[in-house]
Structure formats: structure tokens, C-alpha cells
Amino acid sequence: MDRDISSLMMGTFRGTGRDDFGRERDKRRPLLLDRVMGDQPRVSRCRLLQLPAELLGDIVDLLADNKPALASLALVNSDCRQWARSCQFAEVRFDYGPQTREIILQLARETISRNTAAKKPTIGVCIRKFTMASDSGWVATYNQDLWDSIWGETHESYSQETRDQLREEGNKQYTSWVSLVLGAISMGMPNLETIIWQDRFTVDNTFFTALSQSPAQNIKLCGTPIDKPYLIEPPLTPPSWPLRSLTMARFFETLLRRCAPTLEFLTWDYMDYEAPGDAMSLGEEPLSFPRLRSLKFCVNYLTQSGFSSFLAAPLRHLALPSACDWDALATSLATSEPLLDLETLVIPNLNMSQENISQVVRFMKRHSHIQKLYTSEYDEACGEEARLDQYIIPALSDGFSNLRSLSLAWGGGSVQEETKPHIATIPDVSLQVIGTIRSLEQLSLSAGIRVGWRAQWLVDHDNIRTHLRGLGKLKLLALNRDTYPIPLAIPDIERYYTLNLVTESEHADAWARPELDDLAEDLGQLGIDGGIDADDDGVDEDVIWERAHRNRMLDQAEKYAAVLPALEWVYCGQRPMAIQMDLSKPALKKAVPLTKERDESYTFLKRTFAMGTDED
């Protein structure tokens, strides 16, 4: 596979909606000072620095988000410099910008001098998580001539020969930086725990050698292109590779064999948009995963024996593929031994034959002790293809007394012009069954098209409250892709969030909670000058609409809290909201917005109700 730096200059598609809520969870704490000092004793006699390393760790952790304070701390003395570094460099993300390029050069210098007699505390010793994710803007900046020759206004003036020469020079320069990064990973980060490789630049055999020589036990390869297939075995890598967590897209049977004895978490993110060829095998020799606890298939075309090898592991969390050879998987599910410790089951796609879905449901019912279930039918499923109501809901009507978390997504959507208005619904009979699962602590419901700007589930909150009021343990409730009637009797309800029509009703509701409003801040977030396109009250209509919508969602959340006594959090209308006691009215509860703006919260919802992560 040819290397092409121009591919790095193109940004990636990230969707159209905001997805910020809840993404900053579980920041990696810095290493203790004694550990990042390496072999060097503390020099300073300052009384503060004589405190136990654990207390110093708590102190610097409080400064994690205060970059000026950390910078000032680093200037006090050599001990404080390393103390600050333990926090500043706990996580490093190489984006090809000037600051991260300087960090890599410093790590290279540290690596070269690591065997000198006078060892000094280093930056590399502080790094626990390293992410390789070059930013398209920085790559273009450092290869401006190449960018101009392809996409610039004068690109036609460049000959193909000149363009090829610029590309070759850019590839050579970028390859040098990748080599420096791999050298730092393999020799300059002794406390490295996690490597995330999100770079789309083709790597060669030195890539796996460097990764296997690092101490990292958690590796995530996000579609990394490899110049040719390699056997991940000696002399390229050690005989065994003691990984705990692995995310991979390409299939490397030899890599799995190196890490199978120690692997605890595996995500296999294989995307093949063309018709799959021969099913992939794990090899002729039996392969076992004695420690595997979490398995997430995204798309996989494995042989039946391959699926069976994974299902023989002591799994606690299992996400089935969204597409695969369903005949092979269904047979493996039918013949596998029960997973006695299974807690989470994700079935992302019910679009399969009736025979195969029957086997999947039988597998689900054999594991009625699970605590979390996530499943969805495809967005436009209807009639005979509407599998949730035919298979999943009847199965849930009996026996799942341990279920704490449930996420269900119905189809019923459409993008066809002739089927307008596009209105998706959730049947009452399904809501009735859900309302009988008294063990539920968190619930997510959705319907219709779930990608892009459309929202087609015309939600009836009163009806949902009627059916769910018996869920006395419910703490989290998420209603996703919900939409509402549009003023002026416009039937195109899926455009509720894009039309933002304002009538007298919106004007009235917008001022219902004045304690939440900051006009200048609202206008600034929308990029609006307060004197432009403002209505008679001096407030832009976009602000009016957003306030009215927010207040209406808060009203709905408070009504849910009135019938669900344990409720702590609600998501509807693209608004995450907390439920709190109303100090002015102790008998009531109030809803509080958790974001300034609407947020699709895709990552948070996947992580909470399925097996998603912040890097998804």
C-alpha cells in the first residue's frame, strides 16, 4: 500500500450535531512524584515536598485543569518541575502541531541520552497515555505547497510531476516524524499504559516492533493502514505480547495468538463496505482466551469455529456484530455453553432472517440474568421487519428480573419523499411490557431515523409517563430522536430542530425561567450581534426558540420526576437535565439543564447504555 500524506490533509466526518456532554469523564491521574523522579531523589528541602507522594498526587491532581498554575509550579525548582510534568504530560496527543512536534523532539533527545551517567528526570517517564492523531490543518500547514497543488486556487498551474515530487517530499518528512514517535514509544516512555493510533498514514513492520517493545498493555488501532500483511511473531515481536486491551480493525490471527493468554478487553472494528470474501479463520490450532471479559464485535465475517472460540471465553460484556455471517454466528450461539458471568449484551442489529433472530433471542433468554441490554432494529424497519415487537418485547415480558439497564431503538422511519409525513412511534403494548421490569435503573428509548438531522419520533410524554410510572428504581431516562409538532400546522415534524419557528407561544414560554437566562451569553453562542435581526423585545428569534424549547423540556423532565421517585437524570429534546430538590418547595423536584446548548450526547448515550467509549 502506497503512503500518501495528502490523505492526512482531509478532515474526517464527525456528524452534524453537538456531542460534547459527558466526554470528559475519568481523566487519567498523574503518576506519583517518586515514580516520575525515576532514580533521582528529591533535591528540595521545601516542607511541602516532604509530604508523602500520595498527598502530593492529590494536590497536583487539583491543578490538572489550571495550566497557568502548573506552568508556574514548574518554574520553582527541579523537583516542582517534575511534579508539574507528572500532570502536564500524563496524556500526550501528537497532532503534528508545533507544540507536540517539540515534545517528540524532546523525547527523542531523552531517548538518545538515556544511557549517560548523569540521568535526569524526563518527560517520557510521566506519560501514561499516548495518542497519535495528526490534525489535518497542521499537516496542510507544514505541506502548504502540496496542499496548494491539489486543492489551492492555482492547482491547475502545477504539473503532475511537480505534484508527485511534493508528495514524495511530504511523505519522506512525515515518515521521519512517525519514526521519531515510534522510537519514543518503544524506548522513551517507561510508564506508558495506553497507545491510541488514529493516524491514517501507512505504517510498515517497524510499527508492530515498536508497539511490542513498549510497556503499554492497552492498544487501540483505529483503522491503521498497513503497507502489507505481516506475521505478528518473532523476530518482529516477542513470542508473547501481554496485552490487556486491544482494539483492531484489520485481522491479525498471529497478533491474537501473541496476546490471547492475557487479553481481557477486545474490540474488533472491521469495516468492509464491499461484499465479504471468504470468512476469516482463527487458524487451524485451537485458540482460547482464558481472561477475556469484554468482547465487542463491530463488523465481522468469522467462521463458525472462530465465533465459538470467542464465545468459550469467560465473558462479562458482549457486543454482537452489526453485520456478519449470521448463519455461522447463530449456530455458534446455539451451541455455546451459557456465559454464567455475562452482565452486558449488545445486539446492535436485528436485521437478519427469522431463523437466525430466533437463535439470537434464545441466546438472550438463556442469559436472563444479564443486567444491561441494548438492541435496535434498523432505522426504516416496518411490518414483518419490525423485529423488536415480534421478538425482543415478548422475551422481556418474563424472566429478566436482574435487568438494570435497557436501551431499545425502534425503526419506522423513512427518508422517501412519497411517505411524508415521516412519523415514527413506539407501540403502547411495548411500553406496557417495559413498565413491568421493576428492576430497571436506567432506560433509553428511540425510534425512526437515527443518523443525520432528522428526528421522526413524535413523542407522547403523557402516554410514556402512564406506562412507566411503576418503575420506582429508575434513575436515568433517555428519550432520543424525539420530535414535536411545529407551529402553523406544518406537517414536516422531522424538521422541528432545523426550522425553529417562533410564534406567540414560543415568546410566552421563552420567559418562563428567567433565572436561567443570560441574553449576552445566548447571543454570543449563536454568533449573533444583539442589534441584528432582533424581534420587538430586542432578542433574536433563534434565542427565543431555544429558550422556549429548553423550558418545555424542563417542564417535561419535572413531570417525569413527579411520577418516578428515584429519577436523577433525564434526556429529551436533545437536552441533558439533572433532577434536584427544589429548596423553595421541598415537596417538589426541579429540572436543571446540564448544558448551555442542545447536545445530541451520542457518545455519552452509547457509553452509558451500550459499550461505547469516548474514542468511538
Other beta carbons within 10 angstroms of residue 84's beta carbon come to: 22
pLDDT digits (tens, 9 = 90+) for 169-186: 999 999 999 999 999 999
What's the Rg (C-alpha) of the chain? 27
Average pLDDT of the residues of the chain: 88
pLDDT digits (tens, 9 = 90+) for 218-238: 999 988 888 887 888 888 888
User: What integer pLDDT is reported at residue 273 of this predicted model?
Assistant: 44
Mean pLDDT computed over 343-352: 94
The yes-or-no verdict on residue 277 having pLDDT over 60 is no
pLDDT digits (tens, 9 = 90+) for 396-450: 998 899 999 999 999 999 999 888 899 999 999 999 999 999 999 999 999 999 9
Mean pLDDT computed over 501-530: 73
User: What integer pLDDT is reported at residue 28 of this predicted model?
Assistant: 62
Half-sphere exposure of 358 (CA within 13 A, CB side): 3
pLDDT digits (tens, 9 = 90+) for 234-264: 888 888 899 999 998 877 788 888 999 999 9
Helices (H), 446-540: 461-468, 496-499, 504-510, 519-525
d(CA 352, CA 204): 38
Percent of the chain with pLDDT over 70: 91
